[in-house]
Structure 1
Amino acid sequence: MQRFSLQDTFLIKKFKKLDRHQDEDKRTYFEIIFIEEGKGKHFINEFIISYNAGDIFLIAPDDTHWFEINEITTFCYFQFTESLFSSKMNLPDRSYWLHRIERIIQNPNLIPGDVITADSDKELIWQIHNAIVLEYEMAKEFYKHNISNMVSTTLSIIARNITRDLKPRSVSSRKDQHTTIDDILNYIRQHVYDRDKMKVAAIAERLSMTSSGLSAYFKKKTGDSLHHYIIMYKLHLVKYRLKNTDFTVSEIAYQLGFTDESHLTRIFKKYNEMTPKQYKTKEDEVLEDDITLTK
């Protein structure tokens, strides 16, 4: 079976298993796993999920997972890195696409299990799956571009299904229910790109709390201030975009709600002891060195 290498951006593996299956290598890539037939249990991080034919799983590089198989199972793995979505691939409205899928692709198992809950979406993704396999096998002109766009569409559909399950309860359904730390974190992940919605007063209003009460509760539960957590989460997304896209520092500052490039640079350097441009240069050099080692 072909192994995923540093030069690969996309690889398909299809195989059958009769008993336990676990990835042999440490992963540096994402996987979309399609269960074509069979049933059993999927162990993902600390969760155990039953699986059946037709289920789809999204696995991040840091996830630990394996399958205990009850009935012979046919797996189809799509393995890919973020490089598949390089801006050189000319995805339409890349910034908007990143807004939709970024927190999902970094935290796909906030809600573990089959990632598609809507029947119509599941049917659509399996149709796209078939088209991707065909493009991959035929390898005709522009097939990499076509696969990139179809995987992008697949992730967008996965994102809307997971986001639907992660949406905070409405204000009306919140009566007589206490806000949890998960409510706050989910709100931040959903609205991190909107500067106004990231103000403490706006978060408190959305969660039916006072600003002081929200700040005190967050500090008690996490040991961190809400303001500092939001900054660090934004900087995490900044690093992701510097490493995996060709956006300029100015563009990233605008996308993530910083006043301007100088504001982002000042905050970034405070916590990372280097500027965003220096960070990007460093990461590009590391990637080039890794590719050279595999040649």
Structure 2
Amino acid sequence: MKRYIQHEDLKLSHFTANEWEHPEHNHNHYELIFIHAGSGRHFLSGFEYPYGPGDIFLLSPCDFHRFGIAERTTFSIIKFHHSYLRSGAPDHVVGTETSRLAEELFLRAHSRQPPLSKPDAARAAQLVTMMTEEKKGPLFFYLLHGLLAVVERNMGEEAAPAGAGDTRIGTVIRYIHDHIADSAALRTGAIAAHAGISASYLGDFFRAHTGVTLRDYIQAYKQRQIEHRIRFSGASLKEIAFAFGFRDQSHFSKYFQQQRGMSPGAYREQLT
């Protein structure tokens, strides 16, 4: 899979397209994508989201995506590294709060992209338009904070991905998130019993509602949680290994190498 590398702390793109020119890819930065006009589908980390004017998407470095444009679409894409939330802040207090808000929202967005209410979609459009005009500086940072605050009040509680009509899928996803470090609790039988679904049917049920297998979802979510802990906590790799149920650091390193193509130590070093 292609990986895009951005060296700048902050970059903003605003463009209109009839076709999406990029292959499925991921990035080394965070992206906040706002749709001003147009329609189509967003293929994001194994999920498929229909999109239209006023939709917003939050992508972390571990996400992969592409767009399928049905109707000529205008995008605004705000790309930033976590370091920007510190270096670009007008003061320490604003920087700390914006960093906390961004970390929480981008972490939660892996299971649910935020649907904006119609009034808040209009507010978000105004904020994003002002950001494209401002481009950088203290006002830009305040506008970003305001946009994240609009997203936060529309997130609600964790729910199933768009298109999932059966409420049991939300139960399954929340259970996985709550027990991600407990391998015994993530056995098919345990998940099925909690959600009131037959163990033999759970796999087909999950894939029908999410588009990915249960095993792949658990593995991807666990990896994201591990990367988030390495990235944002001061815990040692040994502490992180035990927190996620690995019997020792060697087993943890082998697992991370298989998932990421590098050791957890190398992953942490590249962030500094």
Match of residue 42 from structure 1: 40
Q: Distance in 2 between matches of 1:220 and 1:77?
A: 35
Pair 1:92–1:32, CA change in 2 (3 A): closer
Match of residue 6 from structure 1: 6
Q: Is the 8 A contact 2:76 2:128 kept in 1?
A: no
How many residue pairs are counted as aligned between the two chains? 242
**AA in 1 matched with 2:266:** K
Q: Distance in 1 between matches of 2:147 and 2:248?
A: 34
Q: Distance in 2 between matches of 1:231 and 1:49?
A: 25
- Structure 2: runs of 5 or more not aligned: 207-213, 257-261
Among candidates 272, 278, 284, match of residue 268 of structure 2: 284
Q: Distance in 1 between matches of 2:19 and 2:78?
A: 20
TM-score, normalised with respect to structure 1: 0.55
SS of match in other structure, 1:79: strand
- Structure 1: runs of 5 or more not aligned: 110-114, 289-295
- The equivalences for 1:60-99 within 5 A come to 61-70=63-72, 73-85=73-85, 89-91=95-97, 94=100, 98=103
The Cα shift of 1:237 comes to 0.8
Q: Distance in 2 between matches of 1:192 and 1:54?
A: 34
Match of residue 33 from structure 2: 33
Q: Is the 8 A contact 1:32 1:58 kept in 2?
A: yes
Match of residue 187 from structure 1: 174
**AA in 2 matched with 1:42:** G
Q: Is the 8 A contact 1:21 1:67 kept in 2?
A: yes
- The equivalences for 1:41-190 within 5 A come to 41-45=39-43, 47=48, 49=50, 51=52, 53-58=53-58, 61-70=63-72, 73-85=73-85, 89-91=95-97, 94=100, 98=103, 101-104=106-109, 106=110, 115-130=114-129, 132-133=131-132, 135-137=134-136, 139=137, 142=138, 146=142, 149-150=145-146, 152-153=148-149, 155-157=151-153, 159-160=155-156, 163-164=158-159, 166=161, 182-183=169-170, 185-190=172-177
SS of match in other structure, 1:282: helix
The Cα shift of 1:157 comes to 4.5
Q: Is the 8 A contact 2:112 2:160 kept in 1?
A: no
Q: Is the 8 A contact 2:13 2:78 kept in 1?
A: yes
The Cα shift of 1:13 comes to 1.5
Match of residue 228 from structure 2: 240
1:42-61 deviations in Å (ceiling 9; x for gaps): 2433858463x434344564
The Cα shift of 1:14 comes to 1.9
Q: Distance in 2 between matches of 1:205 and 1:274?
A: 28
Larger radius of gyration: 1
Q: Is the 8 A contact 1:268 1:274 kept in 2?
A: no
Q: Is the 8 A contact 1:101 1:156 kept in 2?
A: no
Identity %: 14
